[in-house]
Amino acid sequence: MIDRRDALAGMVAAFGASVFAPLARAAAYRPNPVINTGAPAPVFTAAQRALVAALSERVIPTTDTPGAIAAGVPDYIEHMLGDWAIDDERATILGGLAAIDARSIAQYRTPAAKATPAQQDALLTLAMNDALPGAASFFPAFKQLVLTGYYTSEVGITQERHYLPVPGDYDGAYPYAKVKRIFSS
């Protein structure tokens, strides 16, 4: 089975130079005494936790495969921010969440976590297009956390992608029509 740290290193390599710093720090870390494998250091309030869950599910929704919530992405994000991020990096995410929530209350008269999926998509689009005051660098960092959390989880590796530790014989003429899933290694 693939090691989560190896998968994380692969994700960091895919993001290149624009990787969100806590992800790079976690990928490069070599356990000196111990890694926190228990509950994450608390970062979010209950309302922020609900918003992170709702927004991460909008980035990777449940379809024929499990979505971000089923993969434990909100807990992963809190773990990364609590154990790997410095204050400025946490402030990027927390400030973006606050800006999204403020815009939702002003525009839809409801907290963003309770907004409809279409409204949440509109709020994320505003953040993505840098149209929310206070959320300038939020979306790229949040998206990286969601994607990395998902594709390094057991759900992402085994259900979204098909993990083959040894892919078998090479067949250069294998018909593409027979490919059912994208394979990861």
Tally of helices (H runs) and strands (E runs) in the chain:
8, 2
- Contact (Cβ atoms closer than 8 angstroms) between residue 57 and residue 124: no
Identify the burial level of 150 via C-beta atoms within 10 angstroms of its C-beta, where 0-12 means exposed, 13-18 middle and 19 or more buried. buried
pLDDT recorded at residue 38: 67
Give the phi and the psi of residue 32 in degrees, each rounded to 5: -85, -75
Question: pTM here?
Answer: 0.73
Show pLDDT as tens, one digit a residue, over the chain (185 residues).
Answer: 556 556 656 665 666 556 666 666 666 655 444 455 667 678 999 999 999 999 999 999 999 889 999 999 999 999 888 888 888 889 999 999 999 999 999 999 999 999 999 999 999 999 999 999 878 799 999 999 999 999 889 888 888 776 666 666 777 787 878 877 666 65
Q: Which residues are bridge partners to 184 per DSSP?
A: 163
Rg (CA), the chain: 18
Quote helix, strand, coil % in the chain, to nearest 5: 60, 0, 40
Distance (Å, whole) CA 86 – CA 77: 14
- List the chain domain ranges: 4-184
- Determine the Cα–Cα distance for residues 26 and 31; give it in Å rounded to an integer: 10
| pLDDT the model gives residue 165 | 65
